[in-house]
Amino acid sequence: MAAAVTDRQDGPVALSLPAPRTPDPASAPALRWGILAPGGIAHAFASALRARTGQQLQAVGSRSLPRAEAFAREFGVRTAYGSYAAAVADPDVDVVYIASPHSEHQALALLAIEAGKPVLVEKAFTRNAAEASSVVDAARAAGVFAMEAMWTRFQPRIDVVRQCLEQGLLGEVHTVLADHGQRLHPGGPARLAQPELAGGALLDLGIYPVSFAHLVFGGFESVSATGQLTELGVDAQDAITVTATNGGLGLLGTTMLAKTPTTASISGTEARLELDGDFYSAGAAIRLVDTDGSELDRFEPRDRDHGLHFQAAEVARRVVAGELESPLMPLDETVAIMTALDQVRAQVGVRYPGE
């Protein structure tokens, strides 16, 4: 639709959404991937790589060899291993994807880094900021690429959001609203209820609105939270307020007790962006809305599947270029986000065994 015209200090400006700059994932150089822990997210990742990229599935590692072999048959993976160490040590593996529960991320990432393998670690990156820092320090010391698999960051639609912020299209940004709620407890995946596996709503669901707000604001000055715990002591739901380093305010929420709208918005002095539910998904539309509430422009993604192929392509491009991290999900930002999640857990009263 045609964009409206609004008055700015430097004169009338037609507001419209920029086009995404994201390269076609199929054009990324092909790497040979080793996948650790063939669970649900690993299935989605492997499906995306086979359907939408030229990446190769070289190896899969699991504590259960039959489980690894079943995964290999399903996705045409060349070699199945009954241990993580064996998969990482495979000389034909170029890069490792870690899809285990959060409780194992640190150990498996360090295993891959010690083997000299670039690593993509599922979000949340680790259980806490201290573990995240240990992985980042090890990767930098070894000169090995590492990245958090916050897959939304690499979607074309989020590049539209990023450009709006870079161009100041919204004016001065004051407010971010975002929530993520799914009916996952009780009766959902067992790991979400288990403290020893770093369960709860925050690391699985809440990281999406927290990471989104951090992308928008560029950093948090403070984090405040309240929440509700399950009988085993993980967080069932959290209400989070963040203040940005520039004075903005974010109102964020997460729950695994109910399905919420799971929408997001960024409000500035000149306009706002509204991201439809589920706001993190590859197919959700983005609307540019004027201060009077009228829609100025809309971005409807053409790519509406899961979207995990974009992050794999980003890893491949950076690794082949000899880079050690991605500017779209920098390691220091990953640690900063984990620090914010630590603050939420401390205020809500969640502590994982062994921390």
pLDDT tens figures, 92-138: 999 999 999 999 999 999 999 999 999 999 999 999 999 999 999 99
Structural domain contains residue 96: yes
Q: Is residue 48 part of a domain?
A: yes
Angle at 191 between CA 138 and CA 210, to 5 degrees: 60
161 domain residue, yes or no: no
Confidence grade of residue 5 (pLDDT, cut at 50, 70, 90):
very low
Rounded distance, CA 189 to CA 199, Å? 10
Is the same domain home to 134 and 175?
no
pLDDT of residue 14: 66
- Among candidate residues 88, 120, 152, the one where a domain is terminated: 152
Mark whether 200 and 147 lie in a shared domain: no
177 with 253, same domain: the answer is yes
Taking the model in full, what pTM does it have?
A: 0.94
**Tokens 């809440």 found at:** 206
pLDDT at position 306 over 90:
no
**Structural domain harbouring 56:** 31-152
Arithmetic mean of pLDDT over the chain? 94
CATH code of 237's domain: 3.30.360.10
pLDDT of residue 8: 45
Amino acid at 59: A
Whether 203 and 135 share a structural domain: no
Query: Quick one: which of 164, 242, 252, 247 has its CA closest to 208?
Result: 252
Inter-residue long-range contacts of 331-336, CB under 8 Å, 24+ positions, other chains counted? 331/136, 331/139, 331/140, 331/146, 331/147, 331/148, 332/136, 333/214, 334/125, 334/132, 334/136, 334/148, 334/150, 335/129, 335/132, 335/133, 335/136, 336/214, 336/219, 336/220
Q: Residue 74: how many CA atoms within 13 Å on its side-chain side?
A: 16
Q: Check whether residue 78 and residue 146 sit in a common domain.
A: yes
The number of folded domains in the chain is 2
pLDDT for the residue 236: 98
What is the CATH classification number for the domain harbouring 127? 3.40.50.720
**Is 23 among the domain residues?**
no
Do 147 and 188 lie in a common domain?
A: no
85 shares a domain with 226: no
How much of the chain exceeds pLDDT 70, in percent? 96
Of residues 332, 298, 330, 286, the one with CA closest to residue 153: 330
